[in-house]
Amino acid sequence: MNTVGILGGMGPAAGADFVRLFVRACAEHLRTHGQPVRDQSFPEHWLAQVPVPDRTRALQDTEPGAHQPLDPMLQALGRLAALGARSVAIACNTAHAWHTSLQSRFPQIELLHMADEVAALLQTQGVRAASLMATEGSYRTGLYEAALRKHGITCYMPNTAQRKLIMQGIFDGVKADDYALAAQCFGEVASDLARQYTDATIIMGCTEIPLGLQGTTAVQSLKLMDPAQVLATSLAARAYAEVT
């Protein structure tokens, strides 16, 4: 088994939940391969849960300063490298705007790319269109649009009002520990997108969105994809040396 790492702290609840997703993905891997699910069957994995400045704000204000997240992410990635991590997942969609810079500084680590993993999986599932719920920072970078386009998938975007609701659900909802508000905001947008684009899978392109939608009955019938779950499954595959 390979040692793997998780770059978290963006926000803390999302980083902690990613560990849960990773452990679940490891258990599923073991069952699929006919191996017993026990404590000793899980790979060594490390979570670097560090305070990281807001990614969307940094993308809006590109001037150098303490509001930029790259240095804290580099420090955390360095700690994971020192612990022997061979592959690392970033538990934040928007933070992938710095993926190239992070990867170039640590070429010895395979830094998984969430949007690429999602787009590749959607293509294998035969999905031709997706709607994107994400942060303003992710929309600004075109992170998912580029990955989906590369795999022949059309990307539908929320309107301005829907984007504001998403951001409210993220910051005033999950990040402020108000999950009722998060469920209201995210549920309204997801339902609207499902009505607007009936052929599209909805990508929950911020790690706070699945947290806010947990247990929400209004969206149970919708076609939702959780990029964090996809990334956790990919990291588990690396941990068990399926991918070299």
Q: What is the pTM of this model?
A: 0.92
What is the residue type of 129?
A
What pLDDT digit, counting tens, does each position of 67-96 carry? 999 999 999 999 999 999 999 999 999 999
Domain 115-227 part of CATH 3.30.200.20: no
- Tens digits of per-residue pLDDT, 163-215? 999 999 999 999 999 999 999 999 999 999 999 999 999 999 999 999 999 87
pLDDT of residue 242: 62
Instruction: Give domain 4-113+229-239's CATH number out of 3.10.200.10, 3.30.70.100, 3.10.180.10, 3.40.50.1860.
Output: 3.40.50.1860
Residues forming CATH 3.40.50.1860 domain(s) in the chain: 4-113+229-239, 115-227
In the chain, count H helices and then E strands: 11, 8
Distance from C-alpha of 117 to C-alpha of 100, rounded to nearest angstrom: 15
Three-state secondary structure call for residue 101: helix
* Site of tokens 């790492």: 5
